[in-house]
């Protein structure tokens, strides 16, 4: 699969994912475990939803 998540998008996903998981660990709601999804997409740099929608936040290389 081709990477479709840029650096800024990746950092936001890491921050949101970590925040949700920390909230869950501090007796937050069970649905906060959804934070695993943004962390996984940031790790692999591929978002299935972006692929379906034809989106790409990677920077284009200048020649």
| Distance from C-alpha of 27 to C-alpha of 43, rounded to nearest angstrom | 25
The pTM assigned to this predicted structure is 0.86
CA dist., res. 58 & res. 30, Å (int): 32
Environment class of 25 (CB within 10 Å of its CB; exposed 0-12, middle 13-18, buried 19+): exposed
Predicted confidence at residue 43, as pLDDT, reads: 95
- Give the start-to-end residue ranges of the domains of the chain: 7-50
Residue 52, φ and ψ in degrees, nearest 5: -65, -40
Each residue's pLDDT tens digit, 13-54: 999 999 999 999 999 999 999 999 999 999 999 999 999 999
pLDDT at 62: 59
């Amino acid at each position: 699969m081709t990477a479709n998540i840029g650096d800024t998008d990746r950092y936001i996903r890491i921050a949101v994912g970590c925040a949700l998981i920390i909230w869950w660990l501090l007796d937050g709601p069970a649905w906060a475990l959804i934070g695993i999804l943004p962390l996984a997409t940031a790790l692999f740099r591929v978002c299935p939803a972006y692929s379906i929608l034809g989106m790409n936040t990677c920077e284009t290389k200048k020649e």
